[in-house]
Amino acid sequence: MSLRAIIDKSLGDRPAAKGRIRQRQEGAILKAAEKVFARAGYQGATLNEIAETAGVPKPTLHYYFSSKEALYRAVLDNILALWLAETDTLTVDADPAAALEHYVRAKMRLSAERPDASRVFANEILHGAGHIGYFLRSELRELVRDRADVIARWVADGRIAPVDGTHLFFTLWAATQTYADFDSQICAVLGKARQTVADHVRATDHVLTVVMRTCGLPWPRTDVPPTLPEARHTCST
Amino acid sequence: MSLRAIIDKSLGDRPAAKGRIRQRQEGAILKAAEKVFARAGYQGATLNEIAETAGVPKPTLHYYFSSKEALYRAVLDNILALWLAETDTLTVDADPAAALEHYVRAKMRLSAERPDASRVFANEILHGAGHIGYFLRSELRELVRDRADVIARWVADGRIAPVDGTHLFFTLWAATQTYADFDSQICAVLGKARQTVADHVRATDHVLTVVMRTCGLPWPRTDVPPTLPEARHTCST
DNA sequence: TCGGAACCTGACTGTTTGGTCAGATTCCGT
DNA sequence: ACGGAATCTGACCAAACAGTCAGGTTCCGA
């Protein structure tokens, strides 16, 4: 089953691919909603502000999304798909160092490029995950179980140092998402108005160091030529 | 200057030690407010719910705290003091392994015993730290600078492996606080209704493993007898 | 025990919020 | 060019909210 199919199944399908106008408007509204929900949380966000940000009158919001709740769910839908991605490389047959590096870089990239998505997700979890509890308890739990098994195999085969795979994921998520979720704290401590690309590179290198040393893997990697420079990011807040 | 004095100075002093009744009532209200703010965030929390939780009529809230904002600030005040604590052992002369273990355990204990405090703090940072930006940019920033210097000295003296002190704090905070802030996600992935004491022990051991290996320190420690069993925790959600 | 201060609260208010609706306008297949 | 469907919106509403206030009760030092 495809990822999209899994998500659709869990969240209840919404009618697909409507008209041209509908697609553009829904996109604009979802984008605005993600920004406002990220800044103010579910309760703190107002439909007025979302409408203003999207550049449409408030009733237009209700034309496309029946309620604030429905709009929020739609925003979460898009985010959940992002959250399960990039774990494909974590397989028993993969090279642990390469696979972990790929996953960490993907997570750090997500924090830098989609901080609002990360914040909406964090806010939802922080306040009890009332809207996505089923997702966490089914899709995410199964994914973690599978990947933790891979970690356990690597450990059993002596390919990485002994480590709890499940908790490794908790640490990895926390360490990467903190750069998006707690951006204001990080900027304050760094004494900057916003994180720069250089900060992002340094942070990525640090998290990779933490993960690699935790798994007893050499870092920087010595068996392969250095990876290509990262794609350009938007680190703006 | 004492920690309390620093906090008072930064946040604007509130008249100290009032009458017996006032002290008890303010305490009950603050406790209820922390719980409600943690569950629903600032905007989501209602004075009605806080009043009900505290077991007093709503106007009584306004008798002790002039506004919702003032009550929220008072809740944050108590939390900020907790946040700066336990860093005393991180000094140049200390044993890196012992000092780091102490700090990590203190942070994990805080996540287990005061999850609501952690969540209120997380929520405040997540939404831009509008109320405590000055605190992050002054007190916290100075503290991190000092402690990061200690880490740098340890590195320079070859006592721990090379690591960025500032980012090590980001990682350490993220890894420890995730057990409080993202409790609902962790419980879902673990397939439990709440984290148990055993889970807490396992999580603490994992985070210690991550930190120690990151710093190139032996773990479990071999130079000292095992520490005494941890004090009993309340891990209930 | 007396009197002022501290404490308490039912009933209220102005504002903001999510949501509705009738009717106007635009789109687009035929 | 026609007509039904899709899209749009100004004006409105009920509920929930933070905050107020007048008037009561309890506390406690002298």
For A180-193, write each residue's pLDDT tens digit: 999 999 999 999 99
* Chain B residues closer than 8 Å to A209 by CB: 163, 214
Q: Which residues contact B92 (CB under 8 A, 6 or more apart)?
A: B150, B153, B154
B107/B147 same-domain check: yes
- Containing structural domain, residue B29: 12-76
What pLDDT, on the 0 to 100 scale, is given for residue A225?
Answer: 57
Strand D: which positions are within 7 A of a protein CB?
A: 6-11, 16-22, 27-28
A149/A164 same-domain check: yes
Asked whether B80 and B3 are in contact (CB, 8 A), the reply is: no
**Where residue A17 sits, what CATH number does that domain have?**
1.10.10.60
End-of-domain residue from the set A79, A104, A129: A79
B195/B110 same-domain check: yes
Asked if the Cβ of residue B221 lies within 7 A of any atom of strand D, the reply is: no
Asked if the Cβ of residue A225 lies within 7 A of any atom of strand C, the reply is: no
B116/B208 same-domain check: yes
Asked whether A165 and A152 are in contact (CB, 8 A), the reply is: yes
CA–CA separation, A210 and B168 (whole Å): 9
Pick from A166, A210, A212 the residue to mutate for testing the B interface (most B CBs within 10 Å): A210
A108/A199 same-domain check: yes
**Where residue A203 sits, what CATH number does that domain have?**
1.10.357.10
A60-69 average pLDDT score: 97
Asked if the Cβ of residue A22 lies within 7 A of any atom of strand D, the reply is: yes
Average predicted confidence (pLDDT) for chain A:
89
B108/B25 same-domain check: no
Q: How confident is the model at residue B163 (pLDDT cuts 50, 70, 90)?
A: very high
* CA distances to A99, A124, A226, A227 from A222, in Å: 15, 40, 8, 11
Tally the domains of chain B: 2
Structure tokens at A45: 């966000």
B48-69 average pLDDT score: 97
A92/A209 same-domain check: yes
Q: How distant is C1' of C8 from CA of A125, in Å? A: 38
End-of-domain residue from the set A22, A56, A79: A79
* Inter-chain residue contact B213 with A209, CB threshold 8 Å: no
A116/A193 same-domain check: yes
B156-182 average pLDDT score: 98
A13/A35 same-domain check: yes
Burial A150-166 (b: 16+ CB within 10 A, else e): bbbbbbeeebbeebbbb
A vs B, Cβ pairs < 8 A, gives 171
* Chain A residues closer than 8 Å to B171 by CB: 174-175, 178, 206-207, 210
Rg of chain B's alpha carbons, rounded to an integer?
19
B144/B62 same-domain check: no
A172 closest CA partner among A144, A207, A139, A145: A207
A65/A123 same-domain check: no
A121/A206 same-domain check: yes
Measured between CB atoms, does A10 come within 8 Å of chain B?
no
In this predicted structure, the answer to whether residue A119 has a pLDDT above a threshold of 90 is yes
